[in-house]
Amino acid sequence: MRFYKLEPSEVTVFHDEIDLAPAKLKVKVGGGHAGHNGLRSIHSHIGEAYARVRMGVGHPGHKDAVPGYVLRDFPKADLNWLDDMLRGISDGAAFLAAGDAGRFQNAVALRLNPPRSSTTVAKAQTKTAHSPNTDPDTAPDARSPLQKLVDKFR
C-alpha cells in the first residue's frame, strides 16, 4: 500500500470464510475480523475500511477442528467447485476493480451455476403438455400461468 500510495478503501482482500457454505461468495466492505487471523493482521496494519471477498469453504462442524480444517489442502471432492469459483472470480475481476460488486458476483454465480439450455426444457414441456393425438404446433397450451412458471424451473 505504501509503495503504490493506496488507501484502505482501494484494497480488496480475498479470504476463506467458514461461516459461508462451500462455493458461496459475498463481497463486503468494512466490518470486524470475526476471529480470522489473516484479517486480524490486516486490521492491525490498515484498519477495517477495506473491501473483502468472502469465499465460502464451509465449517468443519466443531470449533476445535477449525484450525486444522482451514490450514489443510482442499479435498479432491472440492476441486470442481473450487475451480469454477476461481474461474468466475477471474471472469468478474474487471467488474470488481471498477467497483461493480453485483456484476462481479453475477460472473462468479454464472460459473458456479451455468444456465440450463432452454431449448431442451421447452421440447420436454411441449411433449408432456399435449396429448399424443394432437399436433403440438397447433394445439394451445392448456397450462395455467402458475404451472408454466413451475415447469420453467423443473
What is the residue range of 125's domain?
Answer: 118-152
Q: Is residue 17 domain-shared with residue 66, that is, in the same domain?
A: yes
Instruction: Check whether residue 83 and residue 140 sit in a common domain.
Output: no
Q: What is the pTM of this model?
A: 0.70
Alpha carbons 134 and 19: distance in angstroms, whole number: 54
Q: Which pLDDT tens digit goes with each residue over 99-129?
A: 999 999 999 999 999 888 776 555 555 555 5
| Number of domains within the chain | 2
CB–CB of 29/96 below 8 Å?
Answer: no
Nearest to 107 by CA among 93, 97, 92, 94: 92
Summarize pLDDT for 14-44 with one digit per residue, the tens. 999 998 999 999 999 888 888 888 999 999 9
Same domain, 34 and 73: yes
Query: Does residue 60 contact residue 26 with C-beta atoms inside 8 Å?
Result: no
Q: Are 52 and 13 in contact (CB under 8 A)?
A: yes
Pair 13, 39 in one domain: yes
For 28, the 3-state DSSP assignment is strand
Q: Which long-range contacts (CB under 8 A, 24 or more apart) does 133-139 make?
A: none
Asked if 113 and 126 count as a contact pair (C-beta separation under 8 A), the reply is no
Which candidate, 20, 118, 113, places its Cα nearest to that of 70? Answer: 20
